[in-house]
Chain A
């Protein structure tokens, strides 16, 4: 599949009442971009209301970055975004308090 210059994403968000909706975001594809970077990009460059907290060992073993991408559970720090224009749908796989912010236990 040909690699495009951009990637369309559907990012799971939660309303104040805890309902889920999907935010559509088109972002520039960077070489070697991981799924975690998509979330970081949305948090840092696109939308200041997006709740996202990364700890992450960045080494693919701590498990804190687990998400569901196009229906499959993956460690987002060690999973590249798929080729093609998308859409790439990203949802939390762990318990969260809002958007992708982890729930404190």
Chain B
């Protein structure tokens, strides 16, 4: 099929909160922007699932609160390795981001009935109450108004358009190569500036809380273009995620509410194992400590056949369980009268990602990034309620700066046919191998690859890690990135509506992302925040530093960034 070429000032990859905010900001500057998304904006991305909170220091903040105090809370939570400049921008601008959402039509729950002042919720780790909310669906409400504004501004959103790679000609960013899933049409989007806003990568783990789209696409795209990533070893796990039944798998069971009311954790033999680990009472345990202990108990053989443990709510008034969720659980066949639920730690959020500065600029001129796909803000652990603040503040900055870059002299480079061919080659290769006859007996179904990567990451690069396992994981992922990639085939040769092609493109990003997490986790020989090395259990001040990682040929180049020493 003929490759379609289109020209823009700014191409935004991803249609979640960060991508749509970036599109609005770019258009405000007068840039011709386009949003390309592998899904559909009204139904895709992690922002939609943000339930409760959007944290900011508002003009009506509690006495004593300030952007400096907010920044200090984020830095403390990040355990010393967040980028203070980027964090400072976030804390300073989050209030404006809330005001912008209000200007688009979000009405936050009021402090008192009839009041225009939003109620501020108090979240763990915050010195002051600063979470605004809309019922239990702040993310969905934010997406609704952003999408309405994008449509009103006439910004095109190209749905089912899978960005495969950046096009870089002689070191200069020339645009984005993409695959249009419904038609099977290769597309070249030429632009001097690009914003990556692809969200996280928690789908690389067997058990995770994320939408199915969260396959680490931005990390893969950035790595393959030689762009720097940072803090990739830090993946936040949520301790009590349902493992069964299938319809409930991936749902979070709120340990933050249930543990204080007396919920306990049991292994497959029904033993209450918590006290054996000597980490203090369960009721005082933070999420990361819970994840570590649960992961160790599962590794020690205490897990169920499905790799879970039980959380028991025996003795808790059933009316204290989250009622909306109980209804959902009942619908998908959980016996809601049973006091035991099968749960395990599941991947929830990527703290690390594409390295940005306070201007949302990456290590490649013209390339900007925003939202969960970026790194530098959350360090080793994320403060609750900051995901929307991050995607709205840096979405706006990335969109504005990408537009300025494009309009004020960003070099327009034609994606020459050689370059365009190179980046569209993986899909063309895949198509050549597709169909029963072409694949041959060595053909690998992309979903086999998905299962393999998810299993490797869950077993070897999960909440607890050690050197031998990490080395094994890197070897296995290298094989997926090399030999497997060359054997992937779709079952049908039709390029249009081909699910296997979409899954194969996901797999490429999943393997690169997982490989990068494992490389960084191997390099960091200590434990800090969400990164726990059983063979190096202490936090070591020599490691109060970030790891910057980029790909050179097929290898990882890892550098240690010690901000205290003037190079941050």
Contact = CB atoms under 8 A, between A and B. Distances in A.
A32 B247 contact: yes
Contact of A104 (B160, B212, B213): B160
Interface in B497-513: 497-500, 502
Interface stretch (B259-267, B371-379, B473-481, B487-495): B487-495
Q: How many interface residues does chain B have, given as a range?
A: 35 or more
B245 A55 contact: no
A48 B499 contact: yes
B333 interface: yes
Interface stretch (A19-27, A75-83, A85-93): A75-83
A53 B43 CA distance: 11
B250 A58 contact: yes
B49 A55 contact: no
Interface string B107-149: 0000000000000000000000000000001001000000000
Nearest to A65: B43
Interface in B226-275: 244-248, 250-251
B247 A101 contact: no
Contacts of B328: 59-60, 78
A99 B137 CA distance: 31
B332 A51 contact: no
A55 B160 contact: no
B499 A57 contact: no
B159 interface: yes
B211 interface: yes
A55 B211 contact: yes
Contacts of A63: 43
Contacts of A58: 211-212, 250-251
A61 interface: yes
Contact of B247 (A53, A77, A99, A102): A77
Contacts of A77: 247
Given A34-B332, A55-B213, A104 B250 contact: no
Given A61-B140, A62-B48, A102-B43, 12 more contacts: A32-B248, A34-B332, A36-B247, A43-B499, A50-B499, A51-B499, A54-B212, A58-B211, A58-B212, A99-B497, A102-B40, A104-B159
8 contacts: A30-B246, A48-B500, A55-B43, A55-B44, A57-B48, A60-B331, A62-B48, A99-B497
